[in-house]
Amino acid sequence: MQAGFAFSKLADRLASLTDLTVQNLELLADMPSVIASIEAHQPVVRRHDKTDRCCVVLQGYLSRYIAEGQHGQITSIHVPGDVPDLHTLYQPHAEGNLIALGSAVVALVPHDFFHKLTAKSAAMSRALLLMQLTDLAIQRDWTLNLGSRDALVRVAHLVCEITARLQTVGLARDLNLASPFTQSDLAAACAISPVHANRTIQELRRRGLLRWHGKLITIADWAGLVRLAGFDPAYLRSRPLAHRARPSQCQPVSTGAAVA
């Protein structure tokens, strides 16, 4: 695979979920797309929009955001390799506002490509189904996070989850990661106030578990953070990198120019 292959993170995500051959993964090389750069807190799709394309996250982070309550609520965060609106293949209306957390780059891929892909390859069809089921498992864990954990554990668990999901697609291996959120975003994801979010981050720093400098998070004590969070990554269903197929060199097909 060439460095910079546009859909390498999607290939990594799918291969993390089930056995796929090199031939399976190279079907992604024919993926038509329009590449879009999204500014911080700008929408990719809005709630109830009808769409005939799915959004593949290439760089940065997206979130699903509901503008209710004093600060609004982030109900999911999506990392490179995710397809947060894969459900629109079967119900072509967006379920919520999908917005960028910080600047992001996405590929907008016609539904028709995914329908043809699933018809062509039973293995890829299974991988896409498992992606949706894993997204549901993540959503259930988010519900547990908000309903049963205190603020410190909520934040620790969210940082563990984001780190583990990034590692699934070959990122954050050194436990350094671009922050997916501002402190206000973190508050909206953990249902706490921005002031409480700041205090929680300071407590994690005081315990020597992480360092948070601007847009970079460094996890100083992964084992300690995992213990505090009670984090068990089993619900992410990720297979070790060593057990996965990797595509050979190939290039994606783009049917449209990049848009800002």
The pLDDT value given to residue 251: 44
- Order the strands of the 176-178 sheet from edge to edge: 176-178, 216-219, 210-213
Burial 139-172 (b: 16+ CB within 10 A, else e): eebbeebeeebebbbbbbbbbbbbbbbbbbbebb
Residue 241, beta-bridge partner list: none
In a domain, 3, yes or no: no
Residues in the chain predicted with pLDDT less than 70, given as ranges, are 1-6, 68-71, 241-260
The pLDDT of residue 73: 87
pLDDT score of 93: 73
* Residue 99 · residue 56 · CB < 8 Å: no
Residue 253 falls within a domain, yes or no?
A: no
pLDDT for 4 equals 39
Q: Is residue 257 part of a domain?
A: no
The reply to whether 258 falls in a domain is: no
**Cα distance between residue 210 and residue 217, in whole Å:** 7
Contacts (Cβ under 8 Å, ≥6 apart) of 243: none
**Number of domains into which the chain is organized:** 1
- For residue 236, give its domain range: 8-243
Query: Distances in Å between the alpha carbon of 46 and those of 5, 158, 213, 220, 257?
Result: 28, 25, 31, 37, 22
How many C-alpha atoms does 39 have within 13 Å on its Cβ side? 2
Global pTM exceeds 0.85: yes
The DSSP code sequence of 147-158 is: HHS-HHHHHHHH
Check residue 252 and give its pLDDT: 43
Q: Is residue 249 part of a domain?
A: no
Q: What is the pLDDT of residue 30?
A: 87
- The predicted structure's pLDDT at residue 92: 77
Q: What is the pLDDT of residue 3?
A: 35
What token pair was written down for 2?
A: 């060439």
Q: Is residue 256 part of a domain?
A: no
Which pLDDT score is estimated for 77? Answer: 95
Predicted local confidence at residue 72, as pLDDT: 75
Give the span between the Cα atoms of 79 and 53, in whole angstroms.
Answer: 18
In tens, the pLDDT along 171-197 reads: 998 999 998 888 889 999 999 999 999
CATH number at residue 98: 2.60.120.10
Phi first, then psi, for residue 110 (nearest 5°) are -55, 140
